[in-house]
C-alpha cells in the first residue's frame, strides 16, 4: 500500500511540475510579445509627437513675410525632419499574434491527455514513465523539449552539428562527395575495400561522428532524394552483412528512423504513421542523449514536429541513412 501511494504521488508531482513549466513558458512568451508591441507603440507615439512639433513650426514659418527668412527656416526644418522620417521608413509593425503560443498550449494538452488516458494500473506495473530513463524522471520538463513548433534558431545557436558520412561503412552502390556530406546512388557497383564496417547488401551508411552525451541538432537536405529514403540514427552494433530485416534501419533495437514511401517512424520493426501533407525538402533531427529523446522536425514547414522517439541510449549514437535513388545531403550548419 505504501509503495502504491508513493508511485501515485510521484506521478502527481511530475504532472504538476510539467504543468507549472508549461504555464511559465506560455507566460514568458506572452510577456515577450506584449513587451515588443508596447515598445513599438511607445516608439510610434514619440514619432507622432515629433511630427506634430514640426507641423506646428511649419505653420509658424508660414507667417513670415520675409521670403529669404522663410526659405532659410524651411531649409533648416527640412534637415531636422530627415532623421525622424528615416526612422518611420524603417519601422515595420510586428503583427500581434499569439497563434504560436496557442500551438504550444494545444500540444502540451495533447501530450498530457495521452499520458492520462493510460490506465493508472498500467503505469504502476511499468513504473512511472518507464519509457524514459532515470535522468528524465528527475528532470521534469520533458514535454516542453518536444513542443511544436520549436525555435530553430535555438537549435542552430546551441546544438548545431554537421556530421559527415563514413567511407568505411558505405555500401558499394553509394558514393560520397569530397566533403563527405552528400551520399548519392550509383547504379554501377563501386569496388570499395571489404571490411567489417561496410554494409554489403543494404544501401546504408553511418556517419563518422558519434554522440555519447549532450544535445545535438543536424539537418538533412532531401531535395534531390528519390521516392524511397530512411533517415535517422543507429548504434555501431547494427548488423552490416546480409539483407535480413534485422540489418535494416529501424527494424531492430539498434536503430531509429523516419521512412519515406509512405511516411512512417520505425524502431524495432514497429512502425508509426506520420502525417505529412507536402514532401519536406529538409528535415531537422534533434538528439538529447541523457534525456533519451530523438526528435524529427519538418524544417520546410516551419519546424513542425513529426515524431519523437523516447528511449534509454546505451551505446554511441551515429546519424544514419538508407537511400534507393537520388542523393541526400547533410546541411552545413557549423
Q: Which of 266, 246, 241 is nearest to 256 (CA)?
A: 266
What confidence tens digit (pLDDT) does each residue in 96-112 have? 445 545 555 555 555 55
Give the residue-averaged pLDDT of 156-163. 88
Provide the H-helix boundaries in the chain: 2-61, 67-90, 99-116, 120-126, 134-137, 142-145, 152-158
| Predicted structure pTM score | 0.59
pLDDT tier for residue 261 given thresholds of 50, 70 and 90: confident
Q: Assign 135 a pLDDT band (cuts: 50, 70, 90).
A: very low
Taking CA atoms, 68 is separated from 55, 60, 72, 73, 308, in Å, by 20, 15, 6, 9, 75
For residue 2, the model assigns a pLDDT of: 65
**204 pLDDT more than 80:** yes
pLDDT at position 95 is 42
Distance of CA 141 to the CA centre of its chain: 17
Q: Which of 47-56, 58-67, 198-207 has the highest mean predicted lDDT (pLDDT)? A: 198-207
Please count the other Cβ atoms lying within 10 Å of the Cβ belonging to residue 109: 11
Amino acid at each position: 500500500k505504501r509503495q502504491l501511494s508513493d508511485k501515485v504521488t510521484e506521478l502527481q508531482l511530475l504532472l504538476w511540475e510539467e504543468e507549472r513549466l508549461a504555464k511559465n513558458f506560455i507566460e514568458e512568451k506572452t510577456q515577450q510579445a506584449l513587451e515588443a508591441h508596447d515598445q513599438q507603440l511607445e516608439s510610434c507615439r514619440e514619432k507622432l509627437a515629433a511630427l506634430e512639433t514640426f507641423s506646428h513650426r511649419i505653420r509658424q514659418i508660414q507667417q513670415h513675410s520675409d521670403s529669404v527668412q522663410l526659405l532659410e527656416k524651411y531649409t533648416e526644418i527640412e534637415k531636422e525632419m530627415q532623421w525622424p522620417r528615416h526612422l518611420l521608413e524603417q519601422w515595420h509593425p510586428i503583427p500581434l499574434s499569439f497563434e504560436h503560443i496557442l500551438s504550444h498550449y494545444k500540444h502540451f494538452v495533447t501530450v498530457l491527455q495521452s499520458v492520462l488516458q493510460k490506465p493508472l494500473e498500467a503505469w504502476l506495473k511499468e513504473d512511472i514513465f518507464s519509457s524514459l530513463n532515470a535522468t528524465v524522471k528527475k528532470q521534469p520538463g520533458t514535454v516542453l523539449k518536444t513542443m511544436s513548433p520549436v525555435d530553430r534558431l535555438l537549435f542552430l545557436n546551441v546544438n548545431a552539428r554537421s556530421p559527415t558520412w563514413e567511407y568505411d561503412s558505405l555500401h558499394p552502390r553509394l558514393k560520397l562527395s569530397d566533403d563527405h556530406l552528400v551520399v548519392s546512388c550509383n547504379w554501377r557497383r563501386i569496388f570499395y575495400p571489404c571490411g567489417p564496417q561496410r554494409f554489403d547488401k543494404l544501401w546504408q551508411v553511418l556517419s563518422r561522428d558519434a554522440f555519447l552525451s549532450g544535445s545535438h541538432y543536424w539537418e538533412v537536405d532531401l531535395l534531390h532524394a528519390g521516392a524511397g529514403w530512411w533517415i535517422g540514427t543507429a548504434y555501431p552494433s547494427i548488423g552490416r552483412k546480409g539483407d535480413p530485416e534485422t540489418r535494416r534501419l529501424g527494424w531492430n533495437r539498434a536503430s531509429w528512423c523516419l521512412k519515406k514511401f509512405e511516411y512512417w517512424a520505425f524502431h524495432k520493426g514497429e512502425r508509426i504513421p506520420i502525417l505529412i501533407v507536402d514532401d519536406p525538402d529538409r528535415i531537422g533531427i534533434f538528439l538529447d542523449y541523457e534525456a533519451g529523446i530523438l526528435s524529427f522536425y519538418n524544417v520546410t514547414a516551419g519546424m513542425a514536429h513529426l515524431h519523437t522517439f523516447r528511449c534509454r541510449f546505451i551505446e554511441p549514437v551515429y546519424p544514419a541513412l538508407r537511400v534507393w535513388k537520388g542523393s541526400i545531403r547533410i546541411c552545413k550548419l557549423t
